[in-house]
Amino acid sequence: MRIYLKGIQVVLPAFYDTVCLKHGQKREKLAAAVRFNPLAVSIKIVYNYNMREKLINSDAVKLLSGYDKLALAVSGGRDSMALLDWFVRSGEYKGEFFVLHVNHNLRGENSDADCELVKEYCKENGVKIEIRNEDVKGFCQKGGYGIEQGARLIRRAIFKEITEGNAACRVVTAHHLQDFAESVLMHVFRGSGIDGLCGIKDDDGVMLRPLLRTERAQIEKYVSENRVPYRDDESNFDQSYRRNYIRNTVMPLIRKVYPNVDNSLAFLAKQAGYAKSYIDANSVSPVLENGEAVLDISVLDAPSALASSSIFKALELIGARVDCEGVHIDSIKALKDKKNGTRVCLPHNVEVEKHKNKLYFYRKREKDERVLPYTGESFSIGGYEVCIGREGKLRFDPSKIPSDAVIRTRREGDRFRKFRGGEKSLGDYLTDKNCPLHLRDNLPLIACGSEVLLIAGVEISDRIAVDADSAEEKHIDTKRLL
């Protein structure tokens, strides 16, 4: 029988198993048990506190202590269960915490068994738990993602929801030194630049990773000595997943020749971080306009490292940094010499368009094909909210709009007669108005047949203009929804 008391492990002989003391009980209860037969009791100090301190080093403890409420991402595997056990037993984190378990539903009964293990541990130790059940396969099929990528995107979205909703300041994960080294190497293999060499961060604004300086062997020792329950995920041995291949095949071969490779990669990442900090401090930052990151095309004239930094900043600003590799960055840089309107397609439905002297970074929207009746009331279409009332930069005579007018987005053959001007195709008119190509398909229109009467946020047709004979006028205010 074992008793944990402020870092001291008290080992009682097997025949004292009837003395049902649990870790965390008061000293006087332990003393009472010892007085029962003091000569037969062996007390052994095994420095559990120091061992736990190695599991999460002092710098990481300080990082954790900077937040008063944390969510622990616990899968039921060895690493995350060790992390949870440290929070429960060590007492070094003084804030509030709860467990977040994401059931990916990828492994049938095994996924459910993982969930039950975490639930049972939390119940026994009085820890609050939140469980999310996700259809990862369905999400991946719908979005065209691989299983690894889709599961990561789902988890990241949940973690952001938790932190942005103030349920917790950060989500704590159990990534350790070997995970860190594998990530750096994978970034290198995929053609990453200096950003990839920096590896994963201790604190990225959503996730905290206090075990990044902890080796897997330390975690295994902690789990063994403290009898921490856990379950192995059999998918971790599936070599068809790239990370598993790196972890189970590539890294062991490298360690045979370079035993210190994990620490060496961590050192490389640290040096890359210093260089990145200097570069970022001297590169141009984008501006955010209606949910889009915008850079002046002149950033591409800067030295390559500075240009890359500005591009990465733009991608991060719209949450599109994940899975962008060196080939993507080179394609964006090549826009400098491309014609106006040229676009580069990136992972996760992200595009970059060159328009005049600007680079626009945005998530592509599907074209809104709806056709709505015009009622004279405010409406939403194409990702825009159009308010019809007494305020707005555009004004029109509502009596001049035909009864069969509709609300829609643009179509082939649309024509527009600009205010106090001649008629031309809608596309030519939008070109004259310097409207970026990626915005055109979803601009809200009021139209009658192929005749466009109003382009929300841009202009009204001369046909519905307010004149001396107008008995009423209305205004339009257009907002782009993010």
- Whether 449 shows a pLDDT value over 70: the answer reads yes
What angle is formed at CA 240 by the lines to CA 239 and CA 245, rounded to 5 degrees? 40
CATH number of the domain where residue 403 is located: 3.50.40.10
Q: How far apart are CA 86 and CA 125, in angstroms?
A: 12
429 lies in the same domain as 386: yes
345 lies in the same domain as 225: no
Nearest CA to 148 among 238, 25, 251? 238
Spell out the alpha helix ranges (H) of 71-144.
78-90, 109-125, 136-143
Least confident of 39-43, 119-123, 128-132, 267-271: 39-43
256 lies in the same domain as 294: no
pLDDT at 248: 92
**Is residue 220, in this structure, part of any structural domain at all?**
yes
Q: How far apart are CA 440 and CA 358, in angstroms?
A: 17
- Whether 415 shows a pLDDT value over 90: the answer reads yes
Confidence of residue 67 (pLDDT cuts 50, 70, 90): very high
248 lies in the same domain as 310: no
From first CA to last CA, the distance across the chain in angstroms is 59
Nearest CA to 139 among 151, 123, 157, 155? 151
212 lies in the same domain as 313: no
Which H/E stretch holds residue 448?
A: strand 445-448
Question: What does the mean pLDDT of the chain come to?
Answer: 86
- Whether 38 shows a pLDDT value over 50: the answer reads no
pLDDT at 319: 84
**Is residue 298, in this structure, part of any structural domain at all?**
yes
Structure tokens at 434: 């310097």
pLDDT at 320: 85
Fill in the DSSP letter of residue 236: G
pLDDT at 15: 32
pLDDT at 303: 95
**Is residue 276, in this structure, part of any structural domain at all?**
no
- Whether 5 shows a pLDDT value over 60: the answer reads no
Confidence of residue 37 (pLDDT cuts 50, 70, 90): very low
Structure tokens at 328: 């993507």
Q: Cβ(284)–Cβ(302) under 8 Å? A: yes
Q: How many domains does the chain have?
A: 4
**Is residue 97, in this structure, part of any structural domain at all?**
yes
Least confident of 101-105, 199-203, 231-235, 342-346: 231-235
342 lies in the same domain as 397: no
> Tens digit of pLDDT for each residue in 331-359?
999 999 999 999 999 988 899 999 989 99
What angle is formed at CA 395 by the lines to CA 394 and CA 400, rounded to 5 degrees? 130
Q: How far apart are CA 187 and CA 196, in angstroms?
A: 5
Q: Cβ(479)–Cβ(388) under 8 Å? A: no
Q: How far apart are CA 266 and CA 199, in angstroms?
A: 8
Q: Could you say which of 233, 268, 303 is where a domain stops?
A: 268
86 lies in the same domain as 196: yes
342 or 195, greater pLDDT: 342
**Is residue 437, in this structure, part of any structural domain at all?**
yes
Return the sign of the alpha-carbon dihedral for residues 32, 34, 37, 39: negative
Q: What number is the average pLDDT over the span 375-398?
A: 92
> Tens digit of pLDDT for each residue in 282-302?
999 999 988 899 999 999 999
Residue with the two structure tokens 């541990």? 121
**Is residue 227, in this structure, part of any structural domain at all?**
yes
Q: Cβ(113)–Cβ(233) under 8 Å? A: no
pLDDT at 137: 92
Confidence of residue 51 (pLDDT cuts 50, 70, 90): very low
pLDDT at 300: 96
Determine the residue type at 348.
H
Q: How far apart are CA 405 and CA 377, in angstroms?
A: 13
93-132 b/e with 16+ CB inside 10 Å = b? beeebbbbbbbbebeeeebeebbebbbebbeebebebeee
- Whether 153 shows a pLDDT value over 50: the answer reads yes
244 lies in the same domain as 326: no
Q: What number is the average pLDDT over the span 386-411?
A: 93
**Is residue 275, in this structure, part of any structural domain at all?**
no
Q: Could you say which of 205, 239, 268 is where a domain stops?
A: 268
Q: Could you say which of 363, 397, 424 is where a domain stops?
A: 363
CATH number of the domain where residue 217 is located: 3.40.50.620
**Is residue 273, in this structure, part of any structural domain at all?**
no
Q: How far apart are CA 140 and CA 146, in angstroms?
A: 6
439 lies in the same domain as 317: no
Confidence of residue 482 (pLDDT cuts 50, 70, 90): low
244 lies in the same domain as 322: no
Q: Which residues pair with 373 in a beta bridge?
A: 406
Relative orientation angle of helices 326-333 and 304-317, to the nearest 10 degrees? 110
Determine the residue type at 52.
R
Structural domain containing residue 217: 54-268
Least confident of 8-22, 131-145, 313-327: 8-22
331 lies in the same domain as 434: no
Q: Cβ(212)–Cβ(174) under 8 Å? A: no
Return the sign of the alpha-carbon dihedral for residues 216, 220, 221, 223: positive
292 lies in the same domain as 391: no
Q: Cβ(14)–Cβ(41) under 8 Å? A: no
Q: How far apart are CA 169 and CA 206, in angstroms?
A: 8
pLDDT at 6: 40
Residues 6+ apart with CB under 8 A from 185: 246, 250, 251, 265
